[in-house]
Amino acid sequence: MSKDVVTNIILRDDEDYIINMGPQHPSTHGVLRLEVCLNGETVKYVVPHIGYIHRGIEKMCEYDTYKQIIHLTDRMDYLSAHMNNEAVSLLVENALGIEVPERVKYIRAALNELNRIASHHLWWSAFGMDLGALTTFFYGLRDREKILDIFDESFGSRLLHSFVTPGGLMHDVHPNFRKNIMEFVKYFRKKLPEYKKLLTDNIIFQNRTKGIGVMTKETAIAFGVTGPSGRGSGFSCDVRKIAPYGIYDQLEFNEVLYTNGDSFDRYMVRMDEMVESMNLLEQIVDKMPEGTEFTAKMKPIVKLPEGEYFQRVETARGELDVFVVSDGKKHPYRMRFRSPNFSNMFTLNILGRGLKIADLVAISGSLDLVIPDIDR
Amino acid sequence: MNSIVKYFSEIFGGVRSLLTGMSVTGKYFISPGEIVTEQYPENRATLKMTDRFKGEVTMPHDENNQHQCTGCGICEVNCPNGAIEIITKKVPNESGKLVRAIDKHIYHLSMCTFCELCIKTCPSDAITWGHDFEHAVFDRTKLTKVLNKPGSSLKKKEAKS
């Protein structure tokens, strides 16, 4: 029998046993180890153990210049690489008071939304697979491939682009960029009803997600859960709305909010966000100015003035905050990232209690965790 | 009575939802034109990378075995991972004066993260992306490459007219 040191609650009886889920368990989507206390098949508590893919990115940033930091931020949340790049880029631009061209802002917003859809594609595929629907994996990746082709044509890489840099973009986008986006939106609007038929309306899927892992709004706020996971609990936390950056204050879009807070609502938030992202893409393509300028004038060596700087952006998984302390040199004195997944993951202990172990897989899938972002 | 109706409507609703899903997969099952899978490596002959594909860093040489690298070392400084090493030597030019020239441009593919900073900052456009992507080798030392070919020299700048 073991008791909690603080609350003196009995955590584990003698007949309970503890198993490790992960770090090689396929449903943890990476190297996350969940220490699960089980009574039969019922979860008593979950303790996440992290650090299996810790690379020390924050420390490495202290030895790199601001332009070199960009390629490290790609490797935190690799499914929203553009948003991570933009976080550091916006911070440097705001600190130096650089105004990037209007066209760059539109391209960045387009890349963000494409990246968001691609990320949700992979999440949808993997979520279905976690619950035993193998078909979704092929259908989701088929549509994600169309976005990756757009990325491949413009930046030469599919996942880690390092494309958005302080002062603008690495180089100009491909001439076909605008046309390709329009084609993709047209294509995906036709394919999205298939997602509904395949998984959303499926009776097995609905029974396994509805009412499972209910996160109240209070829990979401207390744990700092952001992004689609927080919005599924009715917590309005879209940084694009509450603290607009780039071009987002000139675009019309709705913040998707659901109020039940169960796995199904977190699922529906992401499905509706894909539609919102496509609406945004259409607006961006319509309004994007013509031209070839892709960067503002910047000194080759970027030095931030002494002080503290902060920037927040909305990634596909929630709010990413960057905090920099500069001592006036070309390297940051201290760089700190607040990653959305870290906060989202620790609700597993609250959400999973009293449920079966198969439900824990459904919950961790609905939270959409990316482990390299947690460990950094 | 109500519970019986609910029970059966749930069963039939569930079966209908499963059939709806199977109609989607069945549609693709009978239409082979929708297949998007590529058969690699069978399609190697027709497989083409995009123009901007980041395969590896290469140094283009012209037909006279001449490259454009002056050995300034800017790419070495800008590389965040230390993937580029430049070894220079002194060679006499036409008037007999010793000038700096490149001896070896060493590129460690195993350390490269494809951030493009070296190519972006190169003042003489000496290095560019190659389109080769099959980098798997049995020996790690084979990933360290010397980019300038043996016996190559610096291309003379054309006189500005």
Domain A57-308, CATH among 3.20.20.140, 1.10.10.10, 1.10.645.10, 3.40.50.620: 1.10.645.10
Average pLDDT of chain A is 86
Choose among A155, A160, A203: nearest Cβ to B52.
A155
More confident residue, B153 or B106: B106
Q: Does B18 touch chain A (CB under 8 A)?
A: yes
Query: Exposure of A286 by Cβ count < 10 A (0-12 exposed, 13-18 middle, 19+ buried)?
Result: exposed
Alpha-carbon gap, residue B116 to B101, rounded angstroms: 24
Query: Exposure of B137 by Cβ count < 10 A (0-12 exposed, 13-18 middle, 19+ buried)?
Result: exposed
Give the three-class secondary structure for A320. Answer: strand
Residue B42 to chain A, least CA–CA distance (Å): 20
Give the three-class secondary structure for A313. Answer: strand
Please report the pLDDT score of residue A6 as a whole number.
64
pLDDT in tens, B25-40: 888 888 887 778 888 8
Chain A positions touching B117 (Cβ under 8 A) are: 67-68, 71
Those residues whose C-beta lies under 8 Å from the C-beta of residue A362, and which sit 6 or more positions away, are: A130, A131, A208, A209, A212, A213, A263
All structural domains of chain A with their residue ranges: 57-308
Please report the pLDDT score of residue A8 as a whole number.
63
Please report the pLDDT score of residue A1 as a whole number.
59
- Asked if A170 and B54 come within 8 Å (Cβ–Cβ), the reply is no
Check pLDDT > 80 for residue B7. yes
Alpha-carbon gap, residue A109 to A277, rounded angstroms: 10
Residue B32 to chain A, least CA–CA distance (Å): 15
pLDDT in tens, A20-72: 887 877 777 778 888 888 888 888 888 888 888 888 888 888 888 888 888 88
Please state which of the ranges A266-275, B3-12, B63-72 shows the lowest mean pLDDT.
Answer: B63-72
Cα nearest neighbour of A158 on chain B: B53
DSSP string, B101-147: EEEEEEEEGGG-----HHHHH-TT---EEE-------SSGGGGEEE-
Please report the pLDDT score of residue A290 as a whole number.
83
**Interface subset of B 33-62, CB within 8 angstroms of A:** 36, 50-54
pLDDT in tens, A198-208: 888 888 888 88
Written as six digits, the tokens of A370 are 């990316």
| Residue matched to tokens 């290095």 | B127
Check pLDDT > 70 for residue B158. no
Greatest Cα pair distance in chain B: 107
Alpha helices (runs of H) in chain B, residue ranges in sequence order: 2-29, 74-78, 117-121
Please report the pLDDT score of residue A5 as a whole number.
64
More confident residue, A268 or B148: A268
Check pLDDT > 60 for residue A141. yes
Check pLDDT > 80 for residue B128. yes
Instruction: Look at residues B157, B160, B150 and name the one whose alpha carbon lies nearest to residue B61.
Output: B150
DSSP string, A192-234: HHHHIIIIIT-HHHHHHHTTSS---HHHHHHHT--HHHHHTTT
Rounded to an integer, the average pLDDT of A155-168 is 85
- Asked if A67 and B14 come within 8 Å (Cβ–Cβ), the reply is no
| Strand (E) or helix (H) holding A178 | helix A177-195
Please report the pLDDT score of residue A375 as a whole number.
85
More confident residue, A370 or B153: A370
Give residue A4's pLDDT band: very low, low, confident or very high (50, 70, 90). low
Please report the pLDDT score of residue A160 as a whole number.
86
Chain A positions touching B78 (Cβ under 8 A) are: 67-68
ipTM: 0.81
pLDDT in tens, B76-114: 888 888 888 888 888 887 777 887 888 888 888 888 888
Chain A positions touching B113 (Cβ under 8 A) are: 71, 75, 160, 162
Residue B110 to chain A, least CA–CA distance (Å): 16
* Cα B8 to the center of its chain, rounded Å: 58
Give residue B138's pLDDT band: very low, low, confident or very high (50, 70, 90). very high
Query: Exposure of B35 by Cβ count < 10 A (0-12 exposed, 13-18 middle, 19+ buried)?
Result: exposed
Choose among A64, A170, A198: nearest Cβ to B24.
A198
Choose among B13, B21, B121: nearest Cβ to A198.
B21
Give residue B45's pLDDT band: very low, low, confident or very high (50, 70, 90). confident
- Asked if A203 and B18 come within 8 Å (Cβ–Cβ), the reply is yes
Written as six digits, the tokens of A73 are 């931020």
pLDDT in tens, A35-47: 888 888 888 888 8
